[in-house]
Chains A and B, each alone.
Chain A
């Protein structure tokens, strides 16, 4: 069994009962940070290196100095599909200010499922295929979509499990982009080294 399938099985939700079995609990509540975590409460985002749809390597640590929205999603996930046009807009609007979206598809069928979707939805940001290892590293991935907003220091400033409003994402990203204290180039270089060392 490959690692993608293991991940998907691990996330199996017990949403269904058969032959009249009474359900024991409701849906997992959508959890999202009400606001950005304070600087001292942020954990380092685990680094990863995966190929995008064109075969180019996407390495999180190479984005040090940028604000990153890391979105775990899948083509069959309807709430994910609501968010994706927002991320397309945000990539376009804030790219030049030091912002990047990275999509992490958890589709079991890999690029066969994801590439047509990228074309259909005119996705303009980088996309990689997630693995069980990556999902484990980002332990908050229990359902889709799950998004991590990563500050310029490579630290996780907020986590959103389940869909939240565009205004929430955009507000947090703009706040982090305006935080100039962590945007200096020297700091970015140091952070890049730290991220690499932590792998």
Chain B
């Protein structure tokens, strides 16, 4: 990863069997979308590529909602800041999500994300 250059990194999620989480665009105004935020000073974060979710239909709506199950890979675009110090470092972020099973839901929560960097 070179200073001043763009790069992209995969963020791999493993959702426990039986659970699903909403995608970034769940398709229902009351559902909480998946979000990822980055707080590192070495890079500028760009767009996040979210794969298509599984369409699930529930009795409360004729419109399917979009969820993730199993293994999901997001692609995060970054640009290394021109004044970043070379060397091994990392970029950290926070993944915000809300999980349910078919029978019950857990409250919205977040988890930390850390990606290793080798800046040159």
Contacts and interface: CB of A to CB of B under 8 A. Distances in A.
Residues of B in contact with A, size category: 20 to 34
Contact of A80 (B12, B14, B105, B111): B105
B102 interface: yes
Nearest to A13: B106
Contacts of A25: 16
A16 B14 contact: yes
Interface string A17-56: 1111111011110100000000000000000000000000
Interface string A76-101: 11111110110000000000000000
A82 B111 contact: no
Given A77-B100, A79-B103, A82-B59, A9 B109 contact: yes
B108 A15 contact: no
B48 interface: no
A163 B19 CA distance: 15
A161 B59 contact: no
A76 B104 contact: no
Contact of B65 (A28, A78, A144): A78
B12 A15 contact: no
Interface in B81-120: 95, 97-109, 111, 113
A162 interface: yes
A85 B61 CA distance: 12
The DSSP consensus for interface residues of chain B is loop
Given A76-B31, A77-B105, A143-B106, A16 B18 contact: no
A18 B95 contact: yes
Interface string B1-39: 000000000011111111101000000001110000000
A139 interface: no
A30 to B, nearest CB: 4
A144 B98 CA distance: 12
A141 to B, nearest CB: 11
Contacts of B108: 8, 76, 108
A85 to B, nearest CB: 7
B103 A16 contact: no
B16 A28 contact: no
B113 A18 contact: yes
A163 B113 CA distance: 32
Contact of A20 (B14, B104, B105, B111): B14
B32 to A, nearest CB: 5
B60 A15 contact: no
Given A25-B16, A28-B101, A75-B30, 4 more contacts: A11-B106, A22-B14, A27-B104, A82-B58
- Which 6 A/B pairs are nearest by Cβ-Cβ distance? A13-B106, A15-B99, A27-B18, A162-B103, A162-B104, A23-B16
Interface of B: 11-19, 21, 30-32, 58-60, 65, 95, 97-109, 111, 113
Interface of A: 8-9, 11-23, 25-28, 30, 74-82, 84-85, 106, 108, 113, 117, 143-145, 161-163
